[in-house]
Structures are given as structure tokens and as C-alpha cells.
Amino acid sequence: MMTREIAVFISDGYADWELGFICPELNNSEGNFKIVTVALTKETVCSMGGLKIFPDYSIEGYLKRNNNNLHMLLLCGGTIWKENNYELSEVKKLVDYCQRNTVLISAICDATTYLAYNGYLNKVEHTGNSHEFIVNSCPNYSGSKFYIEKQCVNIDDFITANGTATLEFAKEIMNHLQVHSEEKIQKWYDFNKNGFYEK
């Protein structure tokens, strides 16, 4: 089976916990997925939790590969989005590449705001860190009628989630990529959501 690559964008101040459920499930699944990390440059990045990662690729280097195995782009929250006023031209090149090649784009927390700010969510069903927050943060946003008040929204080309939906985000990605059966994924979700005991 051909390896299906998952490109995870990371940056200084990235929200490491938002990757904590989904990346191990993809990396250790039987679906032949491979996680690669992509950043603005090849320099080491440090998460909010102080975890340092040396990226596999810069965005420029990754795009030069012209990789036909890319299966999903994963954008997590972090400080980079607001610090750059949601204007990151290099990330836009990566998102545009995914759109041109019908690659699934998954975003959580303020990464959804970045997508909204740059017009990607104007005509697709989505969620984010509240409708009010997106409207106030994104002057060119015109996707209000497509905003859904849910923890996570899964459609054909986009999966979006708010910052409190790490588990729901992971669940919808796994369902979309058919990592396991829906029953197995639901059991995984229930276990992690509820723990051993209800109280």
C-alpha cells in the first residue's frame, strides 16, 4: 500500500495538545500513514508546552517536492496566527497547493480563523472559535451562513474545529480517513472522553 503522508504545520508557540490525540493514532495505524512536520523554515520550533521539534521540511522545500502522496494538511492553533494578523503568505501557498490538488485541510482553534481570514471558508460549512470571534477578526469574511455551532465540522475538503474540540477533531479526522471502523473510532472517542469512570 502506498504511504499516505500527513503534513503537520508547526511553528513557535504551536498548541501541542491539539496534536496529541490525532498524530499518534495516524502514525501508529494500519492505514500506512506517515506524519511529516512542515514549518516556515527548517529551524527548531518550540511549542507552548516547551516541546522542541526540528521540522522535516520548510514550506518552500516541501512544495518543491511536488509530493503526490500528500493526503492531508493539519493546521493546529498557536500564537503565530494572531501575531501575524492571520496573514502568512507562506502558509497560504501550502493551503493553495492542497486546494489545487484536492488534499484534505484540517484546522483547529485559531488556524480556523486563519482560513476564514483568507477566504477559504466563505462558501463551505465550517466552525471555529465562535462566529462572533471570526466576524470580529476577519474583515473580509463572508461565510456567516455556512458557520455551524458545533465542536467540529467535517465536510469533503475541510475539517474545522474550535479550540475546545481536540478529541472531536481527532475523531472526525479518523472517520474521514477511515483509519478504523466507525464503531472502533466511537469506542476510542468514548474511552478518551469519559475515562474509566463517569464520575
Is residue 109 among the annotated active site residues? yes
20 C-beta neighbours (distance < 10 Å), count: 14
Q: Which of 23, 98, 109, 138 is the catalytic position?
A: 109
Q: How far is CA 60 from CA 34, 56, 111, in A?
A: 20, 12, 20
Which distant-in-sequence residues (6+ apart) come within 8 Å of 169 by Cβ? 18, 21, 22, 106, 108, 152, 159, 161
40, 9, 42: which is closest to 23 by C-alpha? 9
Catalytic residues: 109
